Amino acid sequence: MRRRQILTASAMAMAGLAGCTGGDSTNEADTEGSPVVTTVEEFYTTLYENNDIEGANAMYHPDTESREMRPSDFEPFGGIESIKATIVSTEVVSQTDSTAEVHVEVTYNTPLGSATNEDWLTMRTNDGEWFVDYYLSDEARSDMSQAEIEEVMNQS
């Protein structure tokens, strides 16, 4: 099923950084400190600063169809401990009381090189807390049609 392939590619593409360049989002206005942005920042911190794949997996919505990340997803880049990520900016593209779409410009540094990419996340609440629902990296989106991207981003 194409949707399962997209979700698998999205999870694996978190580490798919070599040779990719991202967008040039500069919108930081009015998003700093919002609960949804705080959750996004905690997700990246947990995964890339703390090297805690299980902790990042725990930040996915309980009802997401995204597969859990595994250490093997990051092995081509020297393992999770070899990947450093710095959030350059975040933009909350749309938000309701229970869903949000967030674009995150991130600079990744790996033993293979550096790249600045724009990751897209959909977020959903559960018991009043924000969770990651879907993650689409620059790399994953480049292999998808606009209709496929919209389908995934509108799942929440």
Can you give the residue ranges of every domain in the chain?
2-153
Q: How many CA atoms lie within 13 A of 120 on its CB side?
A: 17
Q: What confidence tens digit (pLDDT) does each residue in 77-132 have?
A: 899 999 999 999 999 999 999 999 999 999 999 999 999 999 999 999 999 999 99
Name the 3-class secondary structure at 148: helix
Annotation: CATH topology of 2-153: Nuclear Transport Factor 2; Chain: A, (3.10.450)
**Chain-centre distance of CA 95, in angstroms?**
17
User: What pLDDT does residue 135 have?
Assistant: 87
For residue 20, what are its two tokens?
A: 């990719």
With a cut of 70, say whether residue 11 has pLDDT above it: no
What is the overall mean pLDDT for the chain?
A: 83
Residue 54: CB partners within 8 Å, gap ≥ 6? none
Residue 110's identity, in one-letter code, is T
Share of the chain above pLDDT 70, in %: 79
User: What pLDDT does residue 5 have?
Assistant: 43
